């Protein structure tokens, strides 16, 4: 199948490239026509993604009907004296005059707000016309800051803007730097690996092109099928596609270079490369898609969108890797690798005894001491995995870049006002007889709950009372969530007047419900995803032991990755816990990508067995031949994810996935999997046949490739 596909591609490469360009142009134009000029909308309200039966969701629905939020977004101004003294009456008068001085473009209103109990801080709130992450809002925040500096110059007052819009403005530049850094890392590493500027630039261009196709397709899908892409999906999509696309390109280019070095012409070399890696790459993509698709089982709506979206994007990328990439590189041939010289490093050598480099040394070690390699690798990964016993989840996601104005202003705010000021917990009281008096009496009862630092106001509209409460703990902390579930909700329900109903909402209550749902989801998604991946491996590899072994190896890699993250962030970094989404993200990425690399090595290993090698020879040759491609792909992917450490919201995900990829690359694909294959031999692939037709067993050295014109079906994964 892959030989036929590759032959068709290299015969008409121009048509293949033109077809992809046409699809890109059509989808981009359609997206522009549907969403411009305002752009596609997304939501980050977690209550929108929870099942309807949860109390926080019901509270959000009541609030949106009775007390709808104004359109746009908000930013909060924190004003204090430069000397730290309490605000004077003159200071208060100047702050009262700020609304008139801060009427800049993009801002609909500015309202003076609360004063800290010690009199050292005062707040003001600005309403912006656009969403927090919209370009118009980012520009409006910049104008607000300039106008604030002008208004308070020489007054002895200092101020800073924080809140959702200000945080988005501060993070926008960092996001650009991070994504630019990812592309730069990929460019540099590709240049180091292939020593070819053309490959480095072309690969990035092709991957970005496919990413745009995937993004446009998913965005239009949201319009047709009515789903919304939240910021997590939008942030992860380009990262995943950059990494996965680069992986597939590296696998193809290594095998293509191998045949060009052997003297094949550019078309025959590409047919051979696609026919040999096509099965492995396709199986890998299916494993990734199945892993991501398992998120459909989650009851959190954002995960139900994230999983299929990433699965579709990965399948598009593998389609490009088998059509678009071969079309482009078959046109270029040897020129793609210029100025590097395509010299076979094994030419003139009859065995690999003199081979140098990490892959060759690892190959010799595995051939000589497979049991030692397997035991040592399991021991090291097992020790790292012990860290999972101390894993704690954290919902305190720092959305503000460290050192930014929004982060500094938030610190000022928390020094004088309750921690929950910017994210109040909201309690709704509904039913007959709900009036102002009943609502205030109800609010007084709620104010006695220990977690409540201060009331935030009472409103009554149409028989519905809204009571805002400012919590004493940070709204996303475990203490706050436990107190809302264990103290505030029971008290609110008990204090409700007869005939009325109470619904506790707000971000803290929402995340408390998410915690409940997520704990149940993890117990379902993990085993189902693992089972589906194992079944897929068994169907594709047709080997019982090798399928079980790959799944067990990847599970060990997941445990080691999560344990390392606990060590870095909780033990050494002193953080309260790991991002609540991290175990699921690491499981999906490390399982999918780890299986991806392992499949490539196993495919080469079985190819060597069928060529007549002994199990130890086959394992060594697989590492020596496939190891460099896996290492290059793994280092590039780890490097690109490592750049995310600079992002305050993605630092843990970036480091964890980078570590997991390196463990999957070197710990699993280079050492554990081939060592186990060397020990179990051909039995690992039972009931599939792995013996050559001739039964000949070569002594050592590389096995000549079969004719590119005919590739036996049994060599396919």
**Regarding predicted confidence, which is higher, 71 or 467?**
467
Nearest of 86, 19, 320, 335 to residue 198 by alpha carbon: 335
Nearest of 171, 230, 167 to residue 41 by alpha carbon: 230
Contacts (Cβ under 8 Å, ≥6 apart) of 389? none
**Mean pLDDT value of segment 482-508:** 93
295-311: per-residue pLDDT in tens?
888 888 778 888 888 88
Q: Which residues pair with 21 in a beta bridge?
A: none
**Mean pLDDT value of segment 183-201:** 88
Out of 233-237, 368-372, 486-490, pick the least confident: 233-237
Is residue 160 classed as helix, strand or coil in its secondary structure?
A: strand
Calpha distance 124→413 (Å, rounded): 11
pLDDT at res. 45 = 60
pLDDT at res. 491 = 95
pLDDT, averaged across the chain: 84
pLDDT at res. 641 = 84
CATH of domain 352-393+521-701: 1.20.1640.10
pLDDT band at 119 (very low <50, low <70, confident <90, very high): very high
- DSSP for 445-486, please give it: HHTTSTTEEEEEEEEEETTEEEEEEEESS-TTSHHHHHHIII
The share of the chain scoring above pLDDT 70, in percent, equals 91
**Mean pLDDT value of segment 119-138:** 89
Which residue intervals of the chain bear CATH 1.20.1640.10?
Answer: 1-39+195-341, 352-393+521-701
**Regarding predicted confidence, which is higher, 544 or 471?**
471
Tell me 644's DSSP state: G
**484 pLDDT higher than 50:** yes
pLDDT at res. 344 = 58
pLDDT at res. 712 = 34
404-413: per-residue pLDDT in tens?
899 899 999 9
Nearest of 158, 17, 184 to residue 95 by alpha carbon: 158
Identify the residue whose tokens are 């590899």.
Answer: 541
Contacts (Cβ under 8 Å, ≥6 apart) of 330? 9, 10, 13, 266, 267, 270
pLDDT at res. 345 = 55
Tell me 576's DSSP state: S
Contacts (Cβ under 8 Å, ≥6 apart) of 432? 463, 499, 500
- Please, is 650 exposed, middle or buried when counting C-beta atoms within 10 Å of its C-beta (0-12, 13-18, 19+)? buried
Phi, psi of 492 (to 5 degrees): -60, -45
**Mean pLDDT value of segment 484-499:** 93
- Give the CA angle between residues 179, 183, 186 to the nearest 5°: 140
Identify the residue whose tokens are 């926008």.
Answer: 172
**475 pLDDT higher than 80:** yes
Calpha distance 557→555 (Å, rounded): 5
**291 pLDDT higher than 50:** yes
**711 pLDDT higher than 60:** no
Phi, psi of 294 (to 5 degrees): -60, -20
Contacts (Cβ under 8 Å, ≥6 apart) of 135? none
Going from the C-alpha of 110 to that of each of 134, 672, 710, the distances in angstroms are 19, 62, 74
Tell me 49's DSSP state: G
**Mean pLDDT value of segment 525-530:** 83
Calpha distance 656→658 (Å, rounded): 5
**Mean pLDDT value of segment 65-93:** 91
Calpha distance 642→645 (Å, rounded): 6
Calpha distance 144→107 (Å, rounded): 8
**Mean pLDDT value of segment 469-496:** 92
Nearest of 635, 527, 689 to residue 188 by alpha carbon: 635
Calpha distance 525→510 (Å, rounded): 21
170 neighbors 142 (Cβ within 8 angstroms): no
pLDDT at res. 705 = 39
Estimate the crossing angle of helix 651-662 against helix 544-565, to 10 degrees.
Answer: 140
Phi, psi of 78 (to 5 degrees): -110, 120
Identify the residue whose tokens are 């009515």.
Answer: 226
**Mean pLDDT value of segment 340-356:** 56
pLDDT band at 351 (very low <50, low <70, confident <90, very high): very low
585-598: buried (b, 16+ CB within 10 Å) or exposed (e) per residue?
bbbbbbbbbbbbbb
369-406: per-residue pLDDT in tens?
999 999 999 999 999 999 998 888 888 765 677 788 99
Calpha distance 646→643 (Å, rounded): 6
**48 pLDDT higher than 70:** no
Calpha distance 643→239 (Å, rounded): 10
pLDDT at res. 505 = 93
CATH of domain 70-169: 3.30.70.1320
**613 pLDDT higher than 80:** yes
**Mean pLDDT value of segment 452-469:** 90
Find out if CATH 3.30.70.1440 is the number for domain 424-505: yes
- Please, is 164 exposed, middle or buried when counting C-beta atoms within 10 Å of its C-beta (0-12, 13-18, 19+)? buried
Calpha distance 220→231 (Å, rounded): 16
**553 pLDDT higher than 60:** yes
Out of 133-142, 463-472, 516-525, 592-601, pick the least confident: 592-601
pLDDT band at 343 (very low <50, low <70, confident <90, very high): low
Residue 277 CB coordination number (10 Å): 27
Which residue intervals of the chain bear CATH 3.30.70.1320?
Answer: 70-169
Nearest of 210, 254, 366, 209 to residue 636 by alpha carbon: 254
**Regarding predicted confidence, which is higher, 506 or 182?**
506
User: CATH number of 1-39+195-341: 2.170.120.12, 1.10.3720.10, 1.20.1640.10, 3.90.640.10?
Assistant: 1.20.1640.10
- DSSP for 516-571, please give it: HHHHHHHHHHHHHHHHHHHHHHHHHH-BHHHHHHHHHHHHHHHHHHHHHHIIIIII
Is residue 159 classed as helix, strand or coil in its secondary structure?
A: strand
pLDDT at res. 42 = 52
Calpha distance 246→249 (Å, rounded): 5
pTM for the whole structure: 0.80
pLDDT band at 265 (very low <50, low <70, confident <90, very high): confident
**Mean pLDDT value of segment 329-357:** 69
Q: Please give the radius of gyration of the chain, using alpha carbons only, rounded to the nearest integer.
A: 29
413-453: per-residue pLDDT in tens?
988 899 888 889 999 999 888 889 999 999 999 999 999 99
Tell me 269's DSSP state: H
Q: Which residues pair with 76 in a beta bridge?
A: 125, 162
Out of 23-37, 374-388, 451-465, 678-692, pick the least confident: 678-692
Greatest extent of the chain over all pairs of C-alpha atoms, in Å: 97
Which residue intervals of the chain bear CATH 3.30.70.1440?
Answer: 424-505
Query: Could you write out the three-class secondary structure of 185-196?
Result: HHHHHHHHHHCC
Nearest of 231, 203, 186, 216 to residue 312 by alpha carbon: 216
Identify the residue whose tokens are 């954002």.
Answer: 302
Calpha distance 490→55 (Å, rounded): 12
pLDDT at res. 552 = 87
Out of 59-63, 198-202, 287-291, pick the least confident: 287-291
Calpha distance 128→135 (Å, rounded): 12
**699 pLDDT higher than 50:** no
Measured in Å, how far apart are the chain's first and last C-alpha atoms?
11
155-188: per-residue pLDDT in tens?
999 999 998 899 888 888 777 888 788 888 888 9
pLDDT at res. 442 = 93
**Mean pLDDT value of segment 262-276:** 89
């Amino acid at each position: 199948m892959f030989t036929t596909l590759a032959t068709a591609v290299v015969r008409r490469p121009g048509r293949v490239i033109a077809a992809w360009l046409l699809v890109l142009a059509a989808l981009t134009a359609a997206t522009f026509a549907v969403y411009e000029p305002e752009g596609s909308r997304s939501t980050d309200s977690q209550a929108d993604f929870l099942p309807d039966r949860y109390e926080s969701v019901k509270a959000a629905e009541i609030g949106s009907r009775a007390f709808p939020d104004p359109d746009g977004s908000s930013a909060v101004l924190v004003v204090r004296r430069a000397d730290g003294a309490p605000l004077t009456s003159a200071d208060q008068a100047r702050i009262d005059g700020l609304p008139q001085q801060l009427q800049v473009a993009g801002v609909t209103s500015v309202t003076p707000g609360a004063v800290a109990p010690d009199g050292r801080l005062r707040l003001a709130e600005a309403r912006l016309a656009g969403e927090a992450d919209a370009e118009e809002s980012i520009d409006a925040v910049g104008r607000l800051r300039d106008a604030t500096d002008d208004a308070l110059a020489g007054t002895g007052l200092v101020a800073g803007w924080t809140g959702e819009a200000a945080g988005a403005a501060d993070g926008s530049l960092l996001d650009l730097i991070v994504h630019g850094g990812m592309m730069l890392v990929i460019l540099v590493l590709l240049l180091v690996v292939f020593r070819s500027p053309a490959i480095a630039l072309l690969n990035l261009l092709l991957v970005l092109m496919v990413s745009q196709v995937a993004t446009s397709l998913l965005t239009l899908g949201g319009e047709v099928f009515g789903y919304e892409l939240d910021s997590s999906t939008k942030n992860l999509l380009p990262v995943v596609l950059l990494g996965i696309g680069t992986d597939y390109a590296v696998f193809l280019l290594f095998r293509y270079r191998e045949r060009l070095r052997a003297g094949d012409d550019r078309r025959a070399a590409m047919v051979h490369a696609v026919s040999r890696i096509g099965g492995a790459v396709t199986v890998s993509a299916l494993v990734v898609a199945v892993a991501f698709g398992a998120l459909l089982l989650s009851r959190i709506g954002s995960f139900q969108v994230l999983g299929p979206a990433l699965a579709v994007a990965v399948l598009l990328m593998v389609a490009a890797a088998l059509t678009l990439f071969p079309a482009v590189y078959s046109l270029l041939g040897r020129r793609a690798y210029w100025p590097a010289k395509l010299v076979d490093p094994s030419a003139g050598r009859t065995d690999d005894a003199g081979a140098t480099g990490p892959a060759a040394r690892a190959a010799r070690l595995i051939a000589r001491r497979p049991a030692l390699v397997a035991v040592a690798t399991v021991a090291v990964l097992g020790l790292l995995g012990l860290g999972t016993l101390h894993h704690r989840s954290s919902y305190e996601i720092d959305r503000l870049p460290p050192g930014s104005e929004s982060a500094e202003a938030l610190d000022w705010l928390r020094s004088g006002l309750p921690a929950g000021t910017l994210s109040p917990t909201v309690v709704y009281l509904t039913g007959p007889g709900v009036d102002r008096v009943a609502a205030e009496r109800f609010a007084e009862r709620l104010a006695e709950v220990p977690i409540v630092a201060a009331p935030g106001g009472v409103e009554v509209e149409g028989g519905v009372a809204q009571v805002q409460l400012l919590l004493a703990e940070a709204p996303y902390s475990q203490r706050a969530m436990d107190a809302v579930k264990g103290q505030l909700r029971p008290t609110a329900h008990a204090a409700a007047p007869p005939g009325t109903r109470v619904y506790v909402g707000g971000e803290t209550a929402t995340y408390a419900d998410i915690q409940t749902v997520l704990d149940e989801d993890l117990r379902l998604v993990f085993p189902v995803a693992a089972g589906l991946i194992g079944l897929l491996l068994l169907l594709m590899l047709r080997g019982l032991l090798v399928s079980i072994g790959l799944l067990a190896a990847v599970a060990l890699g997941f445990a080691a990755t999560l344990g390392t993250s606990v060590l870095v962030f909780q033990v050494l970094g002193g953080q309260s816990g790991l991002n609540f989404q991290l175990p699921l993200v690491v499981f999906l990425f490390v399982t999918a990508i780890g299986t991806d690399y392992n499949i490539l090595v196993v495919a080469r290993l079985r190819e060597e067995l069928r060529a007549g090698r002994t199990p130890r020879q086959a394992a060594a040759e697989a590492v020596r031949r496939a190891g460099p491609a896996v290492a290059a792909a793994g280092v590039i992917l780890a490097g690109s994810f490592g750049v995310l450490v600079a992002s305050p919201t993605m630092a843990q995900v970036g480091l964890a996935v980078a570590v997991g990829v390196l463990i999957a690359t070197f710990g699993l694909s280079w050492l554990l999997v081939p060592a186990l294959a060397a020990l179990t031999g051909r039995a690992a692939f039972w009931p599939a046949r792995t013996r050559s037709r001739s039964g000949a067993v070569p002594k050592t050295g590389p096995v000549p490739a079969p004719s590119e014109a005919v590739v036996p079906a049994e060599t396919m994964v």
